[in-house]
């Protein structure tokens, strides 16, 4: 079965960096686009970034552009999010989520499987 397991969260001071990881199993990781979505405590969901199946395309939400970097290692079935210049408003649970397979015509714009999340707390 599909499994996504995030790690790397923790308490970090403002301005510092962190690298989040997502270990994937139960599917052909190299065939799927992958996303990061975050949720601040008691708040709603916010899309953060996406990377295409082969790593050739990546897009970011305006709120993190220039500070966060998404990457992947298909040989290790792993997705990463490098988060730099952390701010208090980046405090959230960070989920990795899978995008369904694209057809020849288009790619679905939703998330079919989610990990359990990793909590990042930015505090001095």
Partner 1 sequence: QSVLTQPPSVSGAPGQRVTLSCTGSSSNIGAAYDVHWYQQLPGTAPKLLIYGNNNRPSGVPDRFSGSKSGTSASLAITGLQAEDEADYYCQSYDSSLSGWVFGGGTKLTVL
Closest approach, Cβ 26 to partner 1, in A, equals 15
Nearer to partner 1, 62 or 89 (CB): 62
Q: How far apart are CA 111 and CA 96, in angstroms?
A: 9
Q: Interface residues with partner 1 (CB under 8 A)?
A: 35, 37, 44-47, 50, 59, 61-62, 95, 100, 108-117
Closest approach, Cβ 124 to partner 1, in A, equals 27
Nearer to partner 1, 61 or 78 (CB): 61
Identify which of 22, 71, 66 has the alpha carbon closest to the alpha carbon of residue 51.
Answer: 71
Nearer to partner 1, 9 or 117 (CB): 117
Q: How far apart are CA 119 and CA 102, in angstroms?
A: 30
Closest approach, Cβ 88 to partner 1, in A, equals 18
Closest approach, Cβ 75 to partner 1, in A, equals 26
Nearer to partner 1, 29 or 94 (CB): 94
Long-range own/partner contacts, residues 99-107 (CB < 8 A, 24 or more apart):
99/32, 99/33, 99/34, 99/35, 99/50, 100/32, 101/31, 101/32, 102/33, 102/53, 107/33
């Amino acid at each position: 079965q599909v499994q996504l397991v995030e790690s790397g969260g923790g308490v970090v001071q403002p301005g510092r960096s962190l690298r989040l990881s997502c270990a994937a199993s139960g599917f052909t990781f190299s065939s799927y686009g992958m996303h990061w979505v975050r949720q601040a405590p008691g708040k709603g969901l916010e899309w953060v970034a996406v990377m295409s199946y082969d790593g050739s395309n990546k897009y970011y939400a305006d709120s993190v552009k220039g500070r966060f970097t998404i990457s992947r290692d298909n040989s290790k079935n792993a997705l990463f999010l490098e988060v730099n210049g952390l701010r208090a408003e980046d405090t959230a649970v960070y989920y990795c989520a899978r995008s369904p397979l694209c057809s020849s015509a288009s790619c679905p714009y939703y998330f079919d499987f989610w990990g359990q999340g990793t909590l990042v707390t930015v505090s001095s």
